């Protein structure tokens, strides 16, 4: 087994390797150089042999550049004779494009799956796909990890009483319900949200009771922060004591920095699945970035030891 890092994931890769060493694996970061021509063209070079090796590559596919980098690294490894190639993508891009919502639109997640498999991807490890049905686009094993596990210990350490777990829309109900299992004393509520187009909400209404509760909003993605901020306002209007948020992927695009800084949310917890999140961590006062290294290391360890990964996802 050899582990290599994408251009922006050296920190997370180092943390994963530290966890793997704790689990008894003697391993170091593999030597991979990502060169760029002056026009931005990417050229990956393995500086050590990967022949007959199980290669693990840590890199989220959140941008056109990172996707192209991943494709070329897979191609280089396969040409160098690797035994298998596992992409460890904490955030798998285009997962919000899992179906055609509009006439003559693409299915981005399907196109990405086809492309990665065409160049030789053997296995995908990822956290909280926006739609779990995306696994069906792959003809290879997909290890779909439950990202909410990352936030259980941080929430417990806050020692909050009168907890209420809230799903911010219908699509988040299953995820929020799973998170509820870690807090048996917590109640549950949801927000019925109507959109008129992406990132623009028409109306929101609360289903459930939050009076006097410390509320935890559970979702997979925090993007512009508009939904989160409006949800917090709604919950506080219904006399919630405080509002916290956990979301696996901190996309934090557009005006998210200003929106979250001016929101009434006590704390926004996201994982380090996106390298750009680390930059925003210094700009958003109520943001906390939680490491996904242990969760990812457990899955890599289980695969390398030919063990079941089912228990990794259990709460």
Q: How confident is the model at residue 198 (pLDDT cuts 50, 70, 90)?
A: low
Determine what percent of the chain is predicted with pLDDT higher than 70: 97
Q: Please report the pLDDT score of residue 104 as a whole number.
A: 85
- Is 36 an annotated catalytic residue? no
- Say how far residue 18 (Cα) sits from the centre of its chain: 20
Query: Residue 149 and residue 156: Cα distance in Å, rounded?
Result: 12
Q: Please report the pLDDT score of residue 101 as a whole number.
A: 77
Checking if the pLDDT of 201 tops 70, the result is no
- Catalytic residue selected from 193, 213, 230, 298: 193
Checking if the pLDDT of 196 tops 70, the result is no
Q: How confident is the model at residue 197 (pLDDT cuts 50, 70, 90)?
A: low
Rg (CA), the chain: 20
Query: Residue 125 and residue 129: Cα distance in Å, rounded?
Result: 10
The CATH fold assigned to 2-145 is Rossmann fold (3.40.50)
Segment 218-234 shows an average pLDDT of 94
| Helix, strand, coil shares, percent, the chain, to 5 | 35, 25, 40
Segment 25-50 shows an average pLDDT of 95
The pTM of the full predicted model, rounded to 2 decimals, is 0.92
Q: How confident is the model at residue 199 (pLDDT cuts 50, 70, 90)?
A: low
Q: Please report the pLDDT score of residue 23 as a whole number.
A: 85
Lowest mean pLDDT among 84-93, 182-191, 193-202, 261-270: 193-202
pLDDT in tens, 140-168: 999 999 999 999 999 999 999 999 999 99
CATH of region 149-291: 3.40.50.2020
Q: Please report the pLDDT score of residue 311 as a whole number.
A: 83
Q: Please report the pLDDT score of residue 303 as a whole number.
A: 93
Q: How confident is the model at residue 180 (pLDDT cuts 50, 70, 90)?
A: very high
Determine what percent of the chain is predicted with pLDDT higher than 90: 82
Alpha helices for the chain (secondary structure H)? 10-22, 64-79, 108-118, 152-156, 173-180, 226-237, 256-261, 275-281, 293-304, 310-313
Token code pair at residue 262: 């001016």
Q: Does 149-291 match 2-145 at the fold level?
A: yes
Segment 182-199 shows an average pLDDT of 83
Domains of the chain, by residue range, sit at: 2-145, 149-291
Checking if the pLDDT of 204 tops 60, the result is yes
C-beta of residue 271 within 8 angstroms of C-beta of residue 90: yes
**Average pLDDT score over the chain:** 93
- Say how far residue 294 (Cα) sits from the centre of its chain: 14
Q: Please report the pLDDT score of residue 202 as a whole number.
A: 61
Q: How confident is the model at residue 100 (pLDDT cuts 50, 70, 90)?
A: confident
């Amino acid at each position: 087994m050899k582990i290599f890092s994408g251009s922006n994931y050296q920190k997370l890769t180092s943390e994963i390797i530290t966890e793997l060493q704790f689990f008894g694996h003697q391993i170091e970061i593999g030597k991979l150089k990502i060169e760029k021509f002056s026009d931005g063209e990417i050229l990956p070079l393995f500086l050590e042999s990967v022949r007959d090796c199980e290669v693990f590559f840590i890199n989220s596919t959140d941008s056109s550049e990172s996707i192209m980098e991943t494709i070329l690294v897979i191609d280089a490894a396969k040409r160098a004779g690797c035994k298998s190639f596992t992409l460890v993508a904490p955030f798998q891009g285009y997962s919000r494009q899992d179906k055609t919502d509009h006439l003559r639109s693409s299915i981005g997640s399907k196109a990405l799956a086809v492309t990665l498999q065409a160049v030789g991807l053997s296995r995908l490890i990822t956290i909280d796909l926006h739609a779990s049905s995306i696994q069906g686009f792959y003809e290879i094993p997909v290890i779909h990890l439950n990202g909410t596990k990352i936030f259980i210990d941080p929430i417990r350490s806050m020692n909050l009483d009168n907890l209420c777990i809230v799903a911010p829309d219908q699509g988040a109900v299953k995820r929020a319900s799973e998170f509820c299992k870690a807090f048996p004393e917590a109640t549950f509520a949801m927000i019925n949200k109507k959109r008129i187009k992406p990132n623009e909400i028409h109306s929101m209404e609360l289903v459930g009771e939050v009076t006097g509760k410390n509320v935890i909003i559970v979702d997979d993605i925090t993007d512009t922060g508009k939904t989160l901020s409006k949800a917090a306002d709604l919950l506080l209007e219904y006399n919630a004591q405080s509002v916290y948020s956990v979301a696996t992927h901190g996309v934090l695009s557009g005006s998210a920095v200003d929106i979250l800084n001016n929101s009434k949310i006590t704390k926004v917890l996201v994982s380090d699945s996106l390298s750009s999140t680390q930059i925003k961590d210094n700009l958003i006062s109520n943001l906390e970035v939680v490491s996904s290294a242990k969760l990812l290391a457990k899955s890599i360890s289980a695969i390398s030891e030919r063990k079941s990964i089912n228990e990794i996802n259990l709460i």
